[in-house]
Structure 1
Amino acid sequence: MNISPGPRSSTGSPSEDDRGRSAPATWRTWLSHEPPTAFVGFGRPVLAPAAGTVVIAHDGEPDHAARRSQLALIPYALGQARRVRTGITAIAGNHVVVALEPGGPFVAVVHLSHGSVRVAPGDVLAAGDPVGDCGNSGNSTQPHVHVQVTDSTDWPNANGLPMAFGHHAGMPAESEIVDV
């Protein structure tokens, strides 16, 4: 997966600037929440990590405030059970699911920005096609993109599957860009 152009990102980490920061530090960093727009990765294009057919495309969830402060994380953590009870949209936020073959496996790309999903169910994608923008929707404490491979879209019963990266030796390093 490659969030480009611009700062580096891996399968689940926020983009960083040249100084290794996901966003500039302010008083809010330590004591409060921050706007998602302050983060380097927010709004960057997200590309399809693999070729396949879109089976789910959900948009409409808000991007919420980012939380790096331990104080701001406390009320967020207390709301975790409610988010889980609410269901997949409260966890994944705006998301796209691509079937690599009919019947799976499936690649989920989640936490996309509100209003940014560019695909619809039935669309056939090539690896590298734009699917949306990096956001902070769903169960996310700061803007990033989460990519996961599963054997099913029946989320409570789905099993995670190993993810392989073409033309790459081993697991990507933290913040390493992996081109598709």
Structure 2
Amino acid sequence: MSRPPANPSPAPVVLALPFAGRWLAGNSPARRVPSHGTDLLGERYAIDFTGVDDRGRTAAHRDWGTFFGTEPPERFFAFGRPVLAPAAGVVVDVHDGEVDHVARRSQLALVPYALGQASRLRQGVGAIAGNYVVIALAEGVGYVAIVHLRAGSVRVRAGEAVDTGQPLAECGNSGNSTQPHVHVQVMDSPDLSIARGVPLAFRRYREWPAGVKHPERREVGIPGEGAIVELIVEPML
């Protein structure tokens, strides 16, 4: 007797990129699912974006800390960049007040940090997500979480309606983050501690796939691992 076919994944929730400028995609669900290696905290289809300059660098400066220790988060291009609402909806949860940690590019600093992962998980959602905003999307299609925001930068509150592109906060290095970046995920619940991940995609952006010099326009897609992306701003008529 043949086995019944597996249930197909639900259609992805299509968002706008939550920032301007160029950003490097990492831990992309285009590469693997679960994208972050776990289904915990609604992360199954999550994706990370690290701000870069026109040369694809995450920071302009290197010193001994880059190779052997830690670095201040202010050194990185992403830190303090505006984070925008990726869709219209209503803010249902906001958390602020977690500190922005030092950054780690050095393998010597990354190894002990990785070993502390289980301990941070036991401390609760704030220790992993840092500062975050959760938005209930229109038409009940799910909830989008924007995570690792800069301490003290959140500009919205629970119950507030937001439009696509509205400033929410600034990129930070709070929670379980080794370098300032924006973590985006869609979930079936506003409670990160019990949420399950929902597939996502993004609309209207340029993508420079890893190793490719010229961008490709995407009407809807999921940025590939190591790709650089940039929101397409349509001219006003």
What TM-score comes out, normalization by structure 2 length?
0.71
Larger Rg computed on CA atoms = 2
Is the counterpart of residue 49 in structure 1 residue 64 in structure 2?
A: no
Gaps of 5+ in 1: none
**Number of aligned pairs?**
179
Whichever residue aligns with residue 151 of structure 2, its letter is H
Change (3 A) 1:132 1:60: same
Tell me which protein shows more strand as a share of its residues: 2
Q: Deviations over 1:35-90 (max 9, x none)?
A: 00000010000000000000011110000000010001122112211110011100
Is the counterpart of residue 122 in structure 1 residue 159 in structure 2?
A: yes
Structure 1 residue matching 2:156: 3-state secondary structure: coil
Contact 1:9 1:177 in 2 (8 A): no
**Matching residue within 117, 121, 130 for 1:84:** 121
Is the counterpart of residue 160 in structure 1 residue 213 in structure 2?
A: no
Displacement of 1:148 after TM fit?
0.2
**Aligned partners of 1:104, 1:89: CA distance in 2, in Å?**
25
CA RMSD of aligned residues (A): 1.8
Displacement of 1:7 after TM fit?
3.8
Contact 1:104 1:152 in 2 (8 A): no
Contact 1:13 1:145 in 2 (8 A): yes
Whichever residue aligns with residue 147 of structure 1, its letter is V
**Matching residue within 173, 176, 179 for 2:229:** 176
Match of 2:142 in 1: 105
Could you list the structure 1 runs, at least 4 aligned residues long, displaced by more than 4 angstroms after superposition.
Answer: none
**Aligned partners of 1:34, 1:161: CA distance in 2, in Å?**
34
**Aligned partners of 1:19, 1:8: CA distance in 2, in Å?**
11
Contact 1:2 1:177 in 2 (8 A): no
Structure 1 residue matching 2:111: 3-state secondary structure: helix
**Aligned partners of 2:177, 2:229: CA distance in 1, in Å?**
20
Change (3 A) 1:102 1:58: farther
**Aligned partners of 2:137, 2:232: CA distance in 1, in Å?**
18
Equivalent residues in 2 for 1:10-49, closer than 5 Å: 10=25, 11-23=47-59, 24-49=61-86
What TM-score comes out, normalization by structure 1 length?
0.92
Change (3 A) 1:31 1:93: same
Q: Deviations over 1:93-147 (max 9, x none)?
A: 0000000047661000000001100000011000000000000000000000000
Whichever residue aligns with residue 175 of structure 1, its letter is I
Higher mean alpha-carbon deviation, 112-121 vs 102-111, is at 102-111
**Matching residue within 15, 18, 23 for 1:2:** 18
